[in-house]
Amino acid sequence: MASASQRPGTPGLSARLRRAARAATFLFAAATAAASVAPVAIPSARAADDGPIKVGILHSLSGTMAISETTLKDVMLMLIDEQNKKGGVLGRKLEPVVVDPASNWPLFAEKARELISVDHVSAVFGCWTSVSRKSVLPVFKELDNILFYPVQYEGEESERNVFYTGAAPNQQAIPAVDYLMSEEHVKRWVLAGTDYVYPRTTNKILEAYLKSKGVKDEDIMINYTPFGQSDWQSIVSQIKRFGSAGKKTAVVSTINGDANVPFYKELGNQGIKATDIPVIAFSVGEEELAGIDTKPLVGHLAAWNYFMSVDTPENKAFIERWRAWTKNPKRVSNDPMEAHYIGFNMWVKAVEKAGTTDPDKVIAAMIGVSVPNLSGGYAAMMPNHHITKPVLIGEIEDNGQFNIVSQTPGLIVAQEWSPYLPGSRDLIADWRPPMSCGNYNVKIGKCLGAGSLTAGK
């Protein structure tokens, strides 16, 4: 295993313009890469060119999010170890620097600053919740470093210093709802989430999308709970009553972290089966199911861009290496792990392309980089700093794995700005010059300045 330094712790003209712009960015990214103009920033100290290249790992190893994030730390150590056995990058070894922000959102920013200013890392792979990402954004902008963010999120953002290797809403949430409508004939909707920016913004988009499909207000129930929620009896009872109105009902879950364990347990306690009220989750994967008795959950769903059960030579080889590296033949893989696999390989390729670890040059080199995913295809980094992805729907099996019941025939290009929200439907992101903007309004022909419009909560 790699050694690591560790410290505690709507149709119309605008829509047509949008589609045309996206088509152009896709064709460009498939063919070439371009430079990016860097804003004025306070420079961070750069590592010496003859020592090890330090890579930051910023994931919660304690607290409510440790159930999901610890494995991302582990996979990053494996990827770094494997790269070092290939000779490193630019002839230099990689040195991981692991910190534990402990599911504490302000601490994420503090640890990010330490990684960049004290440890002089060349890039950081980390965060899970959007509130943790929002917490560190000012640090990466101020110190001009790079964050690779590996988890599905709410969109409404494109920052120059961030590469989003998880799904945007049109690469997970919207296809999940479409599946429930077409295959499960769902008419009533429970949007249940943890109370922070990702669930609230995602559900705002989903509510607008459902209403555009003719769903009435009385057929949408929205509920939020704190991180670490443990008592689900009354909430699950409300869901059960809401689903007894004679219309097919489903739960769209943006519940995050270890609160999922008692939530699914209470579903079983109250006899809610997938045939009655199916739950489709965006934050429950193989790692979270590893600690749950899955028999009562068989048939409930999850929407991701990767499942461990994907049957490809690439995935089988990855799982074999993963289990050998962890010395655990039962260790599972999941979607955010694949996102780190893709993001890390993209970073390596961009560093080699730029001939340096200098963040400004690597940021410019990243656009257009394409690397294999684990589903048998390729992921390309688009000018909006998001990657192309397939969308998969899986049913929970009694062994904690997912039976893939639906998969898009091709790759989906991320919509960083939702076409269903009035404040963002005219926006696109393109970090190539001369635009070099994360929220360019195609209707007025102007960059609005900041790369994100939502605040962390």
Longest dimension (CA), the chain: 69
Residuewise pLDDT in 10s, the chain (457 residues): 444 444 434 333 344 334 444 444 443 444 333 333 333 333 444 445 679 999 999 999 999 999 999 999 999 999 999 999 999 999 999 999 999 999 999 999 999 999 999 999 999 999 999 999 999 999 999 999 999 999 999 999 999 999 999 999 999 999 999 999 999 999 999 999 999 999 999 999 999 999 999 999 999 999 999 999 999 999 999 999 999 999 999 999 999 888 888 998 899 899 999 999 999 999 889 988 887 788 878 999 999 999 999 999 999 999 999 999 999 999 999 999 999 999 999 999 999 999 999 999 999 999 999 999 999 999 999 999 999 999 999 999 999 999 999 999 899 999 999 999 998 999 999 999 999 999 999 999 999 986 665 544 3
Q: Would you give the DSSP letter of residue 412?
A: B
Q: Where are the alpha helices (DSSP H) in 286-434?
A: 286-289, 313-326, 335-354, 359-366
Between the CA of residue 283 and those of 129, 152, 199, 334, 426, what are the distances in Å? 10, 8, 10, 11, 29
Between the CA of residue 159 and those of 149, 162, 217, 237, what are the distances in Å? 11, 5, 34, 41
User: Scanning the structure block, which residue is given the tokens 């009533």?
Assistant: 188
Q: Are the C-beta atoms of 95 and 54 separated by less than 8 Å?
A: yes
Q: Hey, how many other C-beta atoms are within 10 angstroms of the C-beta on 15?
A: 14
User: Scanning the structure block, which residue is given the tokens 């690439």?
Assistant: 314
Rounded Cα–Cα distance for residues 57 and 76 (Å)? 7
Order of strands across the sheet that contains 5-7: 5-7, 94-99, 53-58, 123-126, 147-149, 162-164
Q: Where are the alpha helices (DSSP H) in 157-214?
A: 173-183, 197-212
Q: Is the whole model's pTM more than 0.85, yes or no?
A: yes
Q: Do the strands 249-254 and 301-304 form a parallel or antiparallel pair, or are they unpaired?
A: unpaired
Q: Phi, psi (5° rounding) for residue 279? A: -110, 130
Domains and CATH numbers, the chain: 53-167+334-387 (3.40.50.2300), 171-309+389-413 (3.40.50.2300)
Q: Which long-range contacts (CB under 8 A, 24 or more apart) does 235-244 make?
A: 235/192, 235/266, 236/263, 236/266, 236/267, 236/269, 236/270, 236/272, 237/270, 239/190, 239/192, 239/272, 239/277, 240/270, 240/272, 240/277, 242/188, 242/190, 243/188, 243/190, 243/276, 243/277
Q: Are the C-beta atoms of 336 and 166 separated by less than 8 Å?
A: yes
| Phi-psi map region of 47: left, alpha, beta (phi>0 left; psi -120 to 50 alpha) | beta
Q: Hey, how many other C-beta atoms are within 10 angstroms of the C-beta on 138?
A: 12
